[in-house]
Structure 1
């Protein structure tokens, strides 16, 4: 598939200055990773990100788990969609029936939509929302390194802006979507969000833990939530802080 620039359809999904710098240096306008085309002028597309995408090394542990766990026809929920990487890789490679990508950072929503559009992905839905105990709004902290943005205010010196983001009731939202697989990378909020969910419909869950924020007690809360949902730690599909839980049998 030839790369097509849909940036005009998704205002805010491109950085014109970055595009000029890339062009002047003879850099590619698009990079392909795991069969997915990514525009290199996305605002969050740092040099390191471009390099890792080019080497199929971006989010490599989470990617390896997802490509093994997600099956054809699955309903997938992703919490923390970033620039649209994981939802696109899963949609392109695993033939799920539905992918629901939740992202709180408003600056990343047009980026996700553009990546999906330029790859012709039609089975993914983008949700600009957080999940919480009840409906409302919450403060989201955007950091210089976009992947570290989260609901956590610390470290305060790295915060460049704050946004009020819609909050959807976590339990009801997941119950309505009835996912087979949950993918979660929400920078420490996993200890707050996952215990709120009914996980009994899941076949598997892939969670990136952030012990630097939640400590060992937070890690234990995540494991307890999975156990209560009938899911067991799967060492064969886990790697370091990226842990996979599967339903026995």
Structure 2
């Protein structure tokens, strides 16, 4: 999707051969340095490059800056990657990233997936990576948006993904067990055990095991865990 094509004089921060518009509204401080040093999403990058193959149909839950969708579209030439991102402020930037890298196999939708369609609150903070569906105790009231919730079963049936990439700040504990994972060949999940606890981690592992996918050690590191049907 190329709603925001780069201009000829646009400047970029480059990371792992990918281009990210050098917009201080999104890239500043530590985040900008991590991109330049190829340290941003390092564990997720290693995992994705181990499990994603050319021709895969990837669904990404939690797009962030558009880093992972751009990575797999560029480096693995996937058939498609469709990202769902709850933060409406990030959508234009993600589309700029996709356009800057000349992608025609990557799309992003401002929505989250759930068991039933509806609407949900999403809280946007100055630190874009700390935005979430959770209100923090004692914080100043964040900018809150009502975000579309799409029925996960319908989305999976429509897109027919065979790879899942997921980083949704703890919401994985409720969403993953509710998804139909049987059509997946592989998955990369960033867990948030500090929020979901050991019971939540076990629920996620059990969901993948029930769908016939096994923990894949070569694609896992600390909180980033991978699952594959065969390895």
TM-score (ref. length: structure 2): 0.92
Partner of 1:29: 11
1:56 corresponds to which residue? 38
Question: Are residues 119 and 155 of structure 1, via their aligned partners in 2, closer, same or farther at CA, if it must alter by over 3 Å?
Answer: farther
| C-alpha displacement of 1:151 | 1.6
Equivalent residue number for residue 142 of structure 1: 124
Is residue 41 from structure 1 mapped to residue 28 from structure 2 by the alignment?
A: no
Q: Which residue of the other structure, out of 54, 60, 70, is the alignment partner of 1:78?
A: 60
Q: What's the secondary structure of 1:157's corresponding residue?
A: coil
Of the candidates 93, 96, 100, which is equivalent to residue 111 of structure 1?
93
RMSD between superposed Cα atoms in Å: 1.7
How far is the alpha carbon of 1:6 from its aligned partner?
A: 3.8
Q: Which has the higher contact order (CA 8 A, sep 6+)?
A: 2
How has the CA–CA distance of structure 1 residues 55 and 203 changed in structure 2, closer, same or farther, with 3 Å as cutoff?
same
Change (3 A) 1:42 1:222: farther
Q: What corresponds to 1:238 in structure 2?
A: 220
Matched pairs, number: 226
SS in 2 for 1:78: strand
Which residue of the partner structure matches residue 168 of structure 1?
150
**Contact 1:142/1:159 (<8 A) preserved:** no
8 A contact 2:56–2:163 mirrored in 1: yes
1:181 equivalent in structure 2? 163
Cα distance, 1:44 vs. partner? Answer: 2.2
Aligned equivalents of 2:201, 2:139: Cα separation in 1? 25
Residues 111 and 150 in structure 2, CA contact (< 8 A), matched pair in contact too: yes
Alpha carbons of 1:176 and 1:234: their partners in 2 closer, same or farther (altered >3 Å)?
A: same
CA distance in 1 between partners of 2:121 and 2:84 (Å) = 16
Counterpart for residue 182 of structure 2: 200
Question: Residue 21 of structure 1 corresponds to which residue in structure 2?
Answer: none
SS in 2 for 1:102: strand
Q: Does 1:209 align with 2:209?
A: no
| Unaligned residue ranges in structure 1 (runs of 5+) | 9-27
Q: TM-score, normalised by structure 1?
A: 0.86
Supply the distance in 2 between the matched residues of 1:101 and 1:177 (Cα, whole angstroms): 11
1:59-93 deviations in whole A, cap 9, x for unaligned?
00000111121101000001000111110111111
- Structure 2 residues not aligned, in runs of 5+: none
